[in-house]
Structure 1
Amino acid sequence: MRLYWVAQMFYSRLPVPQHMTSHEPTLLNEATRYFPLVGAVVALLSTMAGVVLYLLSGHADVAALFALLASVWITGAFHEDGLADVCDGFGGGWQAQQILDIMKDSRLGTYGAVGLWGALSLRWLMWGHLLKQGVWFFVAGVLAASVLSRWAAVCTIKEGLYARSDATSKLRPVAKGLSRQSFYVACAIAFVVAVLAVGYVALLAIALLYLVQKRMYHYFKAKIGGYTGDCLGAIQQVGECVALLCFLLYLHITTVI
């Protein structure tokens, strides 16, 4: 339980019992096994907020936007910030150190703004479409996408190399690689939750997300020698969009057939 609370403290803004908080590097590293579970909690809280507004107003698009903003607030825009920094760094940088310096800069550039707008808009449209199909489709789809996209980031942590050598990085405590046990726990949580939520189409999403994160990591490694915390945020955001697209395509195909 302490590892879960540490994961919730690190990956969200949700409250944590004071006696369960810890910044010990070893605990932060092993707590990454519960990253997908934190994603499930974030998804459930944000979608429930959207469902309540939808039942009160009957407006799916407004409710989906409200749920999306709730999700961003719960996570403190943790992953969105990573996506924006990656877009700025790789869009405006040429050499590895220049890319890393730009990603470290707290200012938002044009590439980051466009990338953030695109990802948020795409998620909002897909969340709204799922809600129009029914409350269950909305909750289940967002839940599965949220869990699997975080699992994709865990895969990168397990298999990849960390690019930064400075000790000031926020991610350094969890960038030492995962133990086999922690990785298997993360996989079990993500797969079980996703399959229970959306059925066997989750298996297709799992395969797609693994390939997407693999390709993104290879790109990052070629440019900067590995991944950073911002890269993991970008993988999570892109992975969520890919999973949602997969679920929507499946719904469309099954409806047509």
Structure 2
Amino acid sequence: MVITGHKIQREWQIFLLALGFLTRIPVPADPCYSDEKLNGASRYFPLVGLLVAGVASVVFIVAQACFGNTIIAVLLSMAASILLTGAFHEDGFADSCDGFGGGWQPEDVLRIMKDSRIGTYGAAGLIMMLALKTSALYAASSTTALVSALLWGHIVSRWLSVSYLVDLNYVSGEGKSKPLATAMPLSHCLLAGLPLIPVLLFCELPALIPLLIALLTFRIGFAFYLRRRIGGYTGDALGMAQQVTEIIIYLSFLM
């Protein structure tokens, strides 16, 4: 297949749609916008994750050099990633905690998720999630291990979250957390994983087996849970999947 300048420009515009959706980085308006482009933006979510991981890593390294304190560097790194993304995934995680924790019937779960106010489950979940991230990153054996964890965490978690677009149905009823696309071909999902290749080149496969087993177990288990509880996925549920996957990866780097 011949890659023309027009195709490259089109893919760049689709990437900018993904960047503008997942971060607070201002992007130029697309003069040739279309729903087809919008539906294709999800395949660039892991690439945006690579950008977020890069910013978080640089902030950690600079803060560590300036203050000589690991916990401060970790907190500043996390703050930078949250500011960059506008706490987008954290918001979905909190809404999901409230919805799944406070609702029994699918319609109740969706109604609670749509409420912008944070409840007890959401607040408790956010505190525990941020504490686990901070503790896991602080316990990293070296700066190299921490940066590797950030790269894996931000890229793989977004790849796993968009994989639910392949085999689950989108459940309507949400507001701001509605995903860019509601379905994704398997080929696009595989393409979305390309940013992980440079990271894989510096890893030993046997060491990855426990992590891959843990991620696959969560992927299958959470898909089953979503089908049973609400009949599919929501944008907030994808945010929860991203955050939980990120924690699983950070914890796996301590084993």
Residue 168 and residue 115 in structure 1: after superposition, are their counterparts in 2 closer, same or farther (change >3 A)? closer
Structure 1 unaligned spans of 5+: 250-257
Query: Scaled by the length of structure 2, what TM-score is found?
Result: 0.88
Instruction: Give me the whole-angstrom Cα distance separating, in 1, the residues matched to 2:135 and 2:164.
Output: 28
Instruction: Give me the whole-angstrom Cα distance separating, in 1, the residues matched to 2:209 and 2:189.
Output: 18
Residue 214 and residue 123 in structure 1: after superposition, are their counterparts in 2 closer, same or farther (change >3 A)? same
On the 8 A contact 2:145/2:253 being kept in 1, the answer is: no
Query: Scaled by the length of structure 1, what TM-score is found?
Result: 0.88
Aligned to 2:64, which of 47, 54, 74?
54
Whose helix proportion is higher, 1 or 2?
1
Instruction: Give me the whole-angstrom Cα distance separating, in 1, the residues matched to 2:16 and 2:178.
Output: 17
Aligned to 1:213, which of 210, 219, 222?
219
Residue 92 and residue 114 in structure 1: after superposition, are their counterparts in 2 closer, same or farther (change >3 A)? same
Instruction: Give me the whole-angstrom Cα distance separating, in 1, the residues matched to 2:179 and 2:153.
Output: 26
Residue 140 and residue 50 in structure 1: after superposition, are their counterparts in 2 closer, same or farther (change >3 A)? same
Alignment-derived partner of residue 235 in structure 2: 229
Aligned to 1:195, which of 195, 200, 208?
200
The AA in structure 2 aligned to 1:148 is: V
Question: CA offsets per residue over residues 14-58 of structure 1, 9 Å max, x none?
Answer: 232x15487643212211111111011001101211210111111
Question: CA offsets per residue over residues 66-88 of structure 1, 9 Å max, x none?
Answer: 10111111111111011101110
Residue 58 and residue 207 in structure 1: after superposition, are their counterparts in 2 closer, same or farther (change >3 A)? same
Instruction: Give me the whole-angstrom Cα distance separating, in 2, the residues matched to 1:22 and 1:123.
Output: 40
Q: Between the two proteins, what is the percent identity of the paired residues?
A: 35
The AA in structure 1 aligned to 2:245 is: G
Aligned to 2:150, which of 142, 148, 159?
142
Aligned to 2:19, which of 3, 8, 14?
8
The AA in structure 1 aligned to 2:186 is: R
Shift of 1:243: 1.0
On the 8 A contact 2:64/2:70 being kept in 1, the answer is: yes
Alignment-derived partner of residue 160 in structure 1: 168
Shift of 1:182: 1.3
- Pairwise mapping of residues 11-160 of structure 1 onto structure 2 (< 5 A)? 11-16=22-27, 18-20=28-30, 24-130=34-140, 133-160=141-168
